[in-house]
Amino acid sequence: MSQTQPQVQYRDDYQPPHYWIDTLDLDIQLHDTATEVVAISRVHRNGEHNEPLVLNGEQLELLSVSVNGIETTQFEQEENALVLPQVPQEFVLTIRNRINPSANTALEGLYKSGDAFCTQCEAQGFRRITYYLDRPDVLARFSTRITADATTCPFLLSNGNRVGQGVLDDGRHWVQWQDPFPKPAYLFALVAGDFDVLRDSYTTHSGREVSLEIFVDKGNLHRAGHAMDSLKASMRWDEQRCNLEYDLDIYMIVAVDFFNMGAMENKGLNVFNAKFVLADAETATDDDYLDVERVIGHEYFHNWTGNRVTCRDWFQLSLKEGLTVFRDQEFSSDLGSRTVNRISNVRIMRGPQFAEDAGPMAHPIRPDAVIEMNNFYTLTVYEKGSEVIRMLHTLLGEQAFQAGLALYLQRFDGQAATCDDFVAAMSEASGRDLTRFKRWYSQSGTPELTVRDAYDADTQRYTLTVQQHTPPTKDQPEKLPLHIPLSVALYSEQGEPISLYLNGQPADAVLDVLENEQEFVFERVPSRPVPALLQGFSAPVKLDYLYTDEQLTLLARVSLDEFVRWDAVQMLINNTVRHNMALLQRRQAPVLPRSLLDVFRCTLEDSGIDRALKAEMLTLPDVNSLLELFEQANIEQLCEVRQHLAKELAEALIPAWQQAYEENQTPEYRIDHDDMARRALKNTALGYLALTGDQTRVADQFAAADNMTDTLGALRAAVRGELDCRHSMLTQFEQKWRNDGLVLDNWFRLQATAPGADTLARVRELMTHPTFSLTNPNRVRALIGAFCQGNPAQFHRIDGAGYDLLTEVLTTLNDSNPQVASRLLTPFIQFRRLDDGRQSLIKQRLQQLMALPSLSRDLYEKISKALD
């Protein structure tokens, strides 16, 4: 650990800033190792006080400080701060400092991505560019003048509008940008480099023309078209569904290779991980196409929910992220398949988000205590945050929800707001009391909903007794009852829907569960019904209802709600896994229940189901999600049970898989829902066929494929099925794509997630591959991240060799890129459900990391909690 213990910040300690900054004029002279920054701010005191002006700054070389144009020595440099004890009421502050972009491996602040300069300022990266009030409630008007070498950096970009440019005698040139909208420093961006540019334009619904520009590495222009289409679709969607129009004359997106996460919504100048911009049939899969659309949408939607209205402090992060994830999910659902989108969101909730809730980093969607803010860009803040917004949408309905959103945006436009402000606007616009609902913002953990029922044939009454209970989490021992929308339908045993009546009135499908225990008595129920509970995952909870296999089979077949059909199959699978784990413990052979086999067969044969949904229904949950079904489980056995189940389903249905495979060939590659659904189903079938040893189909598809979806479908099937042909296929793939990092990431990922005891050795070998580097986050995630998160059987080897690998990598990344290190750490801190032996092996490694001489705040926060 470093000398000083990292400090915890508490949400309750929020204080408005002692000073405001109205304008910031930046002058940045770009040089690889010595960039000079001049920052001129107009500052004024906030109220009457004698507090010093304390500016944040990290890893800066201070050159001079002037107040009202006169250089001063009346300041102190503290660790990560510049303190000016006595300043006028209102003044102009000029700071000159130097930074070294080339040495910036943390990829926060100003850094180099290949030959280009770029920035990442959220959450607290601006303080690595200059001394500033780096907090989201200080909003200033920015102007930025960038000067750089004209040959290596023909493009000089920043936020807002380009208002001037010029050429200098020394081979350098400059561009001046002016952003008319006041913004916090985290939305600042600068990019300088040489790119190919795709240009287009969009006319907004009020008739303004906006220039659209996408900057990509030279030679990649042909891969930017889908991003452009997605951007225009996002702009249209936000106008049509939310009545929100873009506000600047230009919208720029830059794709870079070195990026810690997906993308960043800087005002007018989004910076993207190239993975979420570049796509063509040859190099991108169908899922990559959908990811590009989703992330382009997400960053665009931030322009209103995040930029025009931002967060008062970082504890409010879900105010912009939960809401914007909800918006991007709705966008994807309106453009594609709503059910399939819902399923993929729910898989994330039930797998990694529930695991986060059960681990040492459990926190409410609005956290209360933070050491390193970058550690809180979590599934809880984002995905559960979106579920909370979705519940509001369910409770209020589309119209009142949109009215609430409009009120919130209008009331706080140009300001920094809180989650309370948002809920207040929603409540006011809808007239609904959201007092109890607000607990979702302050309570962590996954609530459990236990539902029991009784039917009285004489009175034709059907009673649901609903109990809610949230188990204590690491951060919060006491839990209160929440407002849980529980969506319900009833079916007769013949599969007919039964109308709902409560208290003599026709009733809505959504029940308001508010208390620890509540009863709902349905009237006029002609026979004992089968309930469909938590339809569409109407709340982020775990459901406990003792479904029989017959009931689940019925729901999978007849439910009017497609999500319920998928969910019923999932529950059948879960029941089977639980049962087989119990058998294994008694040293008995696992079984494939007739009911599950029949459901798979009927699903395959049912021509009335959308093919994409069919593919989802036929896909087993991953091991990490299955682990969430148990308090504690032997992970090796769980992998064995899952693998056995997959093989049995494959063998038992060979003709049906073959038929699904043959019937869903797509003659030419088109990106539309129907063809994507066919490919999804075809490749799902191929995966099962590979488990039966079907080399021919796999090898033929690989040889004939004209698109990346089918190429990878075959490669994945070969690797997962451990077919002999996998070796030559992997070699061919590498030879073809060895110069394309993004494509090769699939190759790393597949090998990292391969079954087989030699995988770890192969991963170590791949770390020496010429295209692999620990300095590139995409490569690290594709190889190391995929192995540790996506290959539980090999990562959790009982000899601890998988744990050693992660420990080594984390030791290196702790120094070079703590943010990436901190993400990779996840499987090391979520050990609660593993057996005691593995837990103690992991804890040894964590202690080893804890003793590192310069442990980053990022790792310190998580490891100290995990070991506590």
Q: Considering only CA atoms, which of 117, 126, 266 is closest in space to residue 185?
A: 126
**Torsion angle of C-alpha atoms 520, 526, 531, 534, degrees rounded to 10:** -50
Residue 213 binds which entry of Zn ion, ligand B3K, none, CB below 5-8 Å type-dependent: none
First to last CA, the chain: 16
Cβ-based neighbours of 457, under 8 Å, separated by 6 or more? 527, 528
285 or 374: CB nearest ligand B3K: 374
> Smallest distance from the beta carbon of 17 to Zn ion, in angstroms?
24
Which one of 96, 127, 298, 797 is in contact with ligand B3K (CB under 6 A)? Answer: 298
Spatial distance between the Cα atoms of 771 and 751, rounded to a whole number of angstroms: 15
Spatial distance between the Cα atoms of 381 and 383, rounded to a whole number of angstroms: 6
> Smallest distance from the beta carbon of 822 to ligand B3K, in angstroms?
10
Which listed range, 235-243, 256-264, 653-661, 801-809, lies at the site for ligand B3K (CB under 6 A)?
Answer: 256-264
Q: How many CB atoms lie within 10 A of CB 495?
A: 13
Q: Which secondary-structure segment (H or E) carries 820?
A: helix 818-824
> Smallest distance from the beta carbon of 83 to ligand B3K, in angstroms?
27
266 or 473: CB nearest Zn ion: 266
Q: x/- string (CB under 6 A) for ligand B3K, residues 113-152?
A: ---------xx-----------------------------
Residue 119 binds which entry of ligand B3K, Zn ion, none, CB below 5-8 Å type-dependent: none
Which one of 58, 265, 383, 694 is in contact with ligand B3K (CB under 6 A)? Answer: 265
CB 566 within 8 A of CB 339: yes
298 or 363: CB nearest ligand B3K: 298
382 or 803: CB nearest Zn ion: 382
CB 126 within 8 A of CB 109: yes
The footprint of ligand B3K on this chain (CB under 6 A) covers a number of residues equal to 12
Q: x/- string (CB under 5 A) for Zn ion, residues 312-331?
A: ---------x--x-------
CB 267 within 8 A of CB 187: yes
Residue 850 binds which entry of Zn ion, ligand B3K, none, CB below 5-8 Å type-dependent: none
Spatial distance between the Cα atoms of 193 and 195, rounded to a whole number of angstroms: 6
> Smallest distance from the beta carbon of 321 to Zn ion, in angstroms?
5
Q: x/- string (CB under 6 A) for ligand B3K, residues 372-391?
A: --x--x--------------
134 or 321: CB nearest Zn ion: 321
**Interhelix angle 836-850/801-816, nearest 10 degrees:** 30
CB 488 within 8 A of CB 533: yes
> Smallest distance from the beta carbon of 123 to ligand B3K, in angstroms?
5
For 774, the token pair is 């620990």
Q: How many CB atoms lie within 10 A of CB 157?
A: 27
> Smallest distance from the beta carbon of 299 to Zn ion, in angstroms?
7
> Smallest distance from the beta carbon of 648 to Zn ion, in angstroms?
42
Q: Considering only CA atoms, which of 201, 206, 193 is closest in space to residue 247?
A: 206
Query: Can you tell me which residue has the tokens 């913002």?
Result: 441
> Smallest distance from the beta carbon of 300 to ligand B3K, in angstroms?
10
Q: Considering only CA atoms, which of 575, 568, 564 is closest in space to residue 342?
A: 564
> Which spans in 62-217 are helix H?
none
Spatial distance between the Cα atoms of 307 and 842, rounded to a whole number of angstroms: 41
| 264 near ligand B3K, rule: CB under 6 A | yes
213 or 321: CB nearest ligand B3K: 321
Which one of 62, 233, 261, 400 is in contact with ligand B3K (CB under 6 A)? Answer: 261
Cis peptide before 263 (omega within 30 of 0): no
| 353 near ligand B3K, rule: CB under 6 A | no
Q: Considering only CA atoms, which of 307, 296, 270, 326 is closest in space to residue 409?
A: 307
CB 97 within 8 A of CB 110: no
The footprint of Zn ion on this chain (CB under 5 A) covers a number of residues equal to 2
25 or 858: CB nearest ligand B3K: 858
> Smallest distance from the beta carbon of 59 to ligand B3K, in angstroms?
17
209 is catalytic: no
145 or 390: CB nearest ligand B3K: 390
**Phi, psi angles (nearest 5°) of residue 56:** -80, 145
Q: How far are the Cα atoms of 47, 84, 192 from residue 50, in angstroms, in the given order? A: 10, 11, 41
Give the active site residue among 108, 265, 299, 562.
Answer: 299
| 861 near ligand B3K, rule: CB under 6 A | no
Q: Which secondary-structure segment (H or E) carries 465?
A: strand 461-469
Which one of 58, 238, 299, 710 is in contact with ligand B3K (CB under 6 A)? Answer: 299
Which one of 25, 137, 321, 567 is in contact with ligand B3K (CB under 6 A)? Answer: 321
122 or 861: CB nearest ligand B3K: 122
291 or 808: CB nearest ligand B3K: 291
The residue length of the chain stands at 868
Which listed range, 298-306, 666-674, 749-757, 845-853, lies at the site for ligand B3K (CB under 6 A)?
Answer: 298-306
**Phi, psi angles (nearest 5°) of residue 650:** -65, -50
Spatial distance between the Cα atoms of 735 and 721, rounded to a whole number of angstroms: 22
> Smallest distance from the beta carbon of 385 to ligand B3K, in angstroms?
11
Spatial distance between the Cα atoms of 213 and 228, rounded to a whole number of angstroms: 8
Which listed range, 297-305, 411-419, 611-619, 663-671, lies at the site for ligand B3K (CB under 6 A)?
Answer: 297-305
| Positions in the binding site for ligand B3K (CB under 6 A) | 122-123, 261, 263-265, 298-299, 302, 321, 374, 377
Residues labelled catalytic: 299
| Positions in the binding site for Zn ion (CB under 5 A) | 321, 324
